Amino acid sequence: MNRALKGAIFDMDGTLLDSMTAWDGVGEAFLQSQGVAVSDGLMGILAPLSFSQTARYFQSLGVSLDEKTILARLNGCVERKYRESLPLKPGAKALVEWLSGKGVRLCVATATHPSLAKAALARTGLLPFLSFVLSCQEAGCPKDQPVFYERAAAMLGTKKEETVVFEDALYCVKSAKAAGFRVVGVFDPSEPQADEVKNQADGYLSSLEQAPQAMKAWWEEWT
């Protein structure tokens, strides 16, 4: 039985924020700076990892720096972009405002370091609409673990059947679905399996600019 929609969990990078290109080559450049050979498929390996897991993975490859230093250097590579220039995806603010106006409790759940996430969300005007920003670092688990989304919903105070998750990455869609949430897939050109995201999600947005009209239809279906 459907319940009223009371909560929405948003991914940030690639879903609300047009930021995926900010990370292009960052891992490779860091490893090369440490004299560590870069293997093919590094981006695919790093995609589901939290920041702490990324640091530990780099250590397993031979990086001798401690976790805190690794994270500081990775963040430093992209910090200015998050604080000063990365834009919202078209339609992102309108969607957030629409849901907030409906009384839906909103949060962002992201793999990005919390300081970077909050800086970008504050600059783009989304932070005031959010109950909180939850990072993998704060949750204590990566986004490929369904418990990540369960913890976000628990913090929102909403039940799974009352909560929708917005994600652009296939592994995140699978994780949120495995946790029992309704999921809306959001197209991002950085996701190589966008067709599969569309197939597995309960709803799909090829652009957030379509969101208000689509959400009105889904609202009737989901409540």
pLDDT in tens, 7-34: 999 999 999 999 978 888 888 999 999 9
**Residues 135 and 183 reside in one and the same domain:** yes
Average predicted confidence (pLDDT) for the chain: 91
Domains contained in the chain, number: 2
At 77 the pLDDT is 85
**Whether residue 144 has pLDDT greater than 80:** yes
Residues spanned by the domain of 35: 23-84
Task: Evaluate if residue 193 carries a pLDDT over 70.
Answer: yes
Based on the fold, state whether residues 110 and 67 are members of the same structural domain. Answer: no
**Are 71 and 12 in a shared domain?**
no
Residue-wise pLDDT tens digits, 145-186 = 999 999 999 999 999 999 999 999 999 999 999 999 999 999
Residue 223 binned pLDDT confidence (cut-offs 50, 70, 90): low
- Note whether residue 1 is domain-resident: no
Q: Give the model's confidence band at 2: pLDDT under 50 very low, under 70 low, under 90 confident, else very high.
A: very low
pLDDT tens for residues 80-135?
Answer: 899 999 999 999 999 999 999 999 999 999 999 899 999 999 999 999 999 999 99
pLDDT digits (tens, 9 = 90+) for 47-79: 777 778 889 999 999 999 999 999 889 888 889
pTM of the model: 0.86
- Of 189, 174, 190, nearest to 202 by C-alpha is 174
> Per the domain annotation, does 2 fall within a domain?
no
Domain end, chosen from 67, 84, 101, is at 84
Does residue 162 contact residue 5 with C-beta atoms inside 8 Å? yes
Question: Quick one: pLDDT at residue 165?
Answer: 98
Tell me what pLDDT residue 24 has.
80
pLDDT at 204 over 70: yes
Q: Categorize the per-residue pLDDT at 3 as very low, low, confident or very high, splitting at 50, 70 and 90.
A: low
Count CA within 13 A, CB hemisphere, residue 149: 30
Residues 36 and 117 in one domain: no
Identify the CATH number of the domain in which residue 147 sits: 3.40.50.1000
Q: Which residue has the higher pLDDT, 213 or 94?
A: 94
What whole-number distance in Å separates Cα of residue 125 and Cα of residue 193?
30
